[in-house]
A and B are shown apart, each in its own frame.
Chain A
Amino acid sequence: MARTRRIDTGELPEAEAIRLAQQGDAAAFERLYRLHNRRVYSLCLRMVGNTAEAEDLTQEAFLQLFRKIATFRGESAFSTWLHRLAVNVVLMKLRKKSGNESSLEELTEPDEDSGGPRRDFGAQDLRLSGSIDRVNLQRAVEQLPPGYKSVFVLHDVQGYEHNEIAEIMACSIGNSKSQLHKARMRLRELLHEALRAQAREDRKAASAETGGKD
């Protein structure tokens, strides 16, 4: 029974599970899924911000993984390989959503006119302190270009190192660092924009209230 085996194979080392999965062993597939689904699901969830889509993408990532597992030779860590698949699945989805076939470079290097990071000298120096909470930051992350988002989620949320991200994203370590920095700067800018919008709303509400009393 599959469920009995799930318990029995609970201690199966990853390498052994990979070997057995390459032979089509159902329990080994499940073991690998149980080992890695949390991180993959979290990655997808952070990237798309929607549980139903994240579930579909998680399933798709593992499906691709299991279809290709016979070709896994261990040149890179299994988790890195899996995350590369997952990131690609998510990026493909986001590309389809945006309705164009943009390259990864475009996804990670938006130009200044299309919402890329701008140096905000001269911008009103609103203090973000106290305004960076889970909800605000998640909203800002959702607005990041997909490439920035991938690097930010992998590094700042999931704790991957730049050399691992470089493998996952098929880019250089320097590129990973640069994208992360731009992502954080863009997030800061988005958070500032949200603060300014909120301040405007507050002023409007206050003046409406004052006008109503007059």
Chain B
Amino acid sequence: MATITCREFLNYLEPWMEGERPPDAHAHAHVRTCSHCSSIINDLEMIHSEARSWSVSEQDAPERVWISLRAQLEQEGLIQETIPASEDRAQAAAPRTGWFAGLFPRLPRPVLAGAYLAALVAVAFALSGPVNKRVNEARWLKGTQISTSPLSAQLNFAEQNSNSYVTRSNPVVAASLHQNLAIVDNYIALCEKSVSEDPQNEVARDYLFEAYQQKADLLTQLTERGENVQ
């Protein structure tokens, strides 16, 4: 059988690796006798195999990507809230009985901010603790309330300061901020309700944390706007 050179073998390599062409007899014979070319095939197969294993560890983008994206979409007017009117009315009529509800008047829309992040991260950490411990529901609920109470106090204090700023700011801006915060207020109230009904629901707890973060961001924005108009 005529033999081929290593250089000629390279022409067989691509279709071989793609599994498109059964190994040619000449190429096969060459690989059996050439350690260099057989090592190329081994290496390429290992590279492919290692790369394929990466897909197993693929993860979702962090939640902040969606939060930021959503804020951008809202800002550009690309998305609309689609809460059914009946649900909206029910939410408006329902008394706010949660431990966090009622603390705030209506405040602005969420934006990225950092002033309260440290406190929020601490809360998130506290919220995740009971998740790992897998204790009973009452303990979960109690743990949630204990861990979020300091945040509630901080946000309450921040809100009092923010209110004094907002009264001095542009009334149109203030009205817009207040209107947008109403959305977050509803969001928080519903998150609290979900958590109180099912304290071990990690998704509900995740949303509650997210709601706090949005509230903190709003207050920060409010304060910044107030400072800018002074």
Contacts of B44 in A (CB 8 A): 184-185, 188
Q: Answer yes or no: B61 CB below 8 A from chain A CBs.
A: yes
Q: Answer yes or no: A67 CB below 8 A from chain B CBs.
A: yes
A194 to chain B, nearest CB (A): 13
Cβ contacts B1-41/A at 8 Å (1 or 0 each): 00000110010011001100000000000000001100110
Q: Answer yes or no: B122 CB below 8 A from chain A CBs.
A: no
Of A56-64, A87-95, A104-112, A199-207, the one with at least 4 CB within 8 A of chain B = A56-64
A121–B190 touching, CB < 8 Å:
no
A184–B52 touching, CB < 8 Å:
no
Given A33-B66, A37-B60, A41-B59: A66 in contact with B73 (beta carbons within 8 A) = yes
- Jot down 27 A-B pairs with beta carbons below 8 A, ordered by A: A1-B83, A3-B210, A26-B82, A27-B82, A29-B78, A30-B66, A30-B70, A37-B60, A41-B60, A41-B65, A42-B55, A42-B59, A55-B65, A58-B61, A58-B65, A59-B65, A59-B69, A66-B79, A128-B43, A129-B46, A134-B50, A141-B51, A157-B54, A177-B14, A178-B14, A184-B17, A187-B47
**A positions within 8 Å CB-CB of B:** 1-5, 7, 24-27, 29-30, 33, 37-42, 46, 54-55, 58-59, 62-63, 66-67, 119, 121, 125, 127-129, 132-134, 137, 141, 152, 156-159, 177-178, 181, 184-185, 187-188, 191
Nearest 10 pairs of A and B residues by beta carbon: A41-B61, A156-B51, A26-B79, A42-B58, A3-B207, A181-B14, A128-B43, A1-B190, A24-B80, A37-B61
